């Protein structure tokens, strides 16, 4: 299970680097800071899954929670969201070193 969590963390980190690279290229081209929101990036990749997620969340979750949390999350930069996801998955899949140390009898 830890392997899968660390692998998912690696995929999220790769997505964050790709999103950050795209934003930096657009920023240099526009001569201004450009940060793509996660909703725009998701809309470009797979619009059907975004609309299905929005409709299912608005149906199953309380409307105030949906409006406040989901809409706020969709306005955040894509690279930042993927970095947070990568960090959380890595923290869950982290294996703690033994307390006694390496050279114990």
At 41-96, the pLDDT tens digits run: 989 999 999 889 888 888 888 877 777 888 888 899 999 999 999 999 999 998 88
Question: Which domain does 20 fall in, by range?
Answer: 1-34+78-93
Question: Does residue 10 belong to any structural domain of this protein?
Answer: yes
Does 41 share its domain with 72?
Answer: yes
Nearest to 77 by CA among 45, 44, 34, 47: 34
What's the pLDDT at 55?
85
- Spatial distance between the Cα atoms of 46 and 29, rounded to a whole number of angstroms: 25
- Spatial distance between the Cα atoms of 76 and 41, rounded to a whole number of angstroms: 11
Question: Does residue 98 belong to any structural domain of this protein?
Answer: no
Question: Does residue 11 belong to any structural domain of this protein?
Answer: yes
Nearest to 58 by CA among 48, 49, 71, 46: 71
Question: Does residue 7 belong to any structural domain of this protein?
Answer: yes
What pTM was estimated for this model as a whole? 0.79
């Amino acid at each position: 299970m830890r392997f899968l969590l660390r692998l998912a963390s690696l995929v999220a980190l790769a997505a964050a680097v790709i999103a950050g690279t795209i934003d930096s290229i657009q920023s240099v081209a526009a001569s201004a800071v450009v940060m793509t929101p996660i909703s725009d990036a998701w809309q470009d990749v797979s619009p059907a899954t975004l609309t299905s997620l929005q409709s299912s969340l608005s149906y199953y979750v309380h409307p105030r929670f949906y409006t406040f949390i989901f809409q706020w999350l969709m306005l955040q930069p894509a690279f930042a969201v993927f970095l947070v996801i990568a960090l959380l998955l890595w923290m869950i899949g982290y294996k703690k070193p033994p307390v006694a140390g390496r050279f114990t009898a």
